[in-house]
Amino acid sequence: MSNNKPLVAIIILNYNQSILVDKLVNNLNDQTYRNYIIFIVDNSENQKEIYNLNQIRKNSKNKIEIIINQRNVGYSKGNNIGIKSSEKFNPKYILILNPDVYIEDKNFIKTLVDFAEKNTHFEFIGPKVFDKNGNLLRIYFKDENSLFNILTGNFFELLSFKLKKTKLKKKSKGYSFVYRIYGCCMFVKMETIRKIDYFDENVFLYEEESILSEKLKRINQKPIYLFDTYIYHIHPTEKHILKKLKKINVAMKSKIYLLKEYKKYPKIIAIILGNIWRFYRYIFAIMKL
C-alpha cells in the first residue's frame, strides 16, 4: 500500500451474497487507486458463506479483513462493526459498498478521493447511481420526509426529477447538495462518521441514509451528490407482491423511528405519517406489478 495517498477502508456487508461479494472484490481490482483495505462483514450465520468469504480473501490480490458476526445484526450495526474494525489501520476515508454494486469507472475511488482532498469542507459524498438497465435512480434533492412530501407521496418531487432526468443523466461534472445519498455507496471521512456517532443501531434495516443526513445537519453538513463518477446498483427486483408488502412493513417501522427521533414529531403523529407513507408505497408496489 502506498503511504503518500490517503488510506480508504472499503466496508462490504454480506448477507448470503458471497457470489456477489466475489464479483465486487474482483471488480475493485480494476481500480487505478490502490491504497485501500477491504473489510467484509458477514451477517449470514452460514458456514458455507464463511468458507466462501475466506476463499475470496485467499484468492484476492487485495488486502482483505473478514469479520464474522454470530448473528444477523442488521445494516447499521454491521457497517459500524466494519468501520470500527478499520480504525486500527487509521484510514482517512470510509467507502461503504453493497455487494450488488458494479463499478465501471476505473477511476471511481481516485475521483472520490481527489474531490474530497480538494474540497475538505465536504465530508459525505455519493456518486451517480444507475440501475442494472442504465436508468438514473432518483436524486433526493429535497427532504423526502418533510410533512408536505409524506402527505403527497413525494409526487411533486418525483415529477420534478422525471422532468430533469434526461439532463441529469448526461451531466458528468460538478456536484449538488442533496437531502440524502444512496446507502449502496457512500464515501465519508472517518473523522465525520465518528463525529456523528456512526450509524444509529436502533434501526435494523431501511432509512439509514435519511438518519445519517439528519445527523449531518447537527454538525451543519449536507451530503454531496457527485456527478463526476458513477456506479450501477444491480438490485434484484422483488416480483412477489406479498414479499414486497412485507418489506414495506419493515421499512415503515424504521420510518416511524426516524420521524419520532430525528424529525421530532410526537409519537402518534409519527405513526400516522408512517402509515400514510406505507399507503403510498403499497400503491406504488401494486402499480409496478
pLDDT of residue 2 exceeding 60, the answer is no
Given pLDDT bands bounded at 50, 70 and 90, which one contains residue 289? low
Domain 8-236 CATH (choose: 3.30.300.180, 3.90.550.10, 3.40.50.2020, 3.30.1860.10) = 3.90.550.10
Give the list of residues 6+ apart from residue 132 with CB closer than 8 angstroms, or none: 232, 233, 234, 235
Distance between CA atoms of 286 and 280, rounded to whole angstroms? 10
Lowest-pLDDT choice from 54-58, 96-100, 238-242, 284-288: 238-242
Q: Indicate yes or no: pTM above 0.85.
A: yes
Domain ranges of the chain: 8-236, 239-289
Dihedral of the alpha carbons of 234, 202, 215, 236, in degrees to the nearest 10: 10
Run of H or E including 38? strand 36-42
- The answer on pLDDT for 202 being more than 80 is yes
d(CA 170, CA 174): 12
Q: Give residue 238's pLDDT.
A: 66
**Residues 22-39: tens digit of each pLDDT:** 999 999 999 999 999 999
Residue 107: per-residue pLDDT: 98
Contact in structure between 148 and 160 (CB atoms under 8 Å): no
How does pLDDT run across 176-195, given as a tens digit for each residue?
Answer: 999 999 999 999 999 999 99
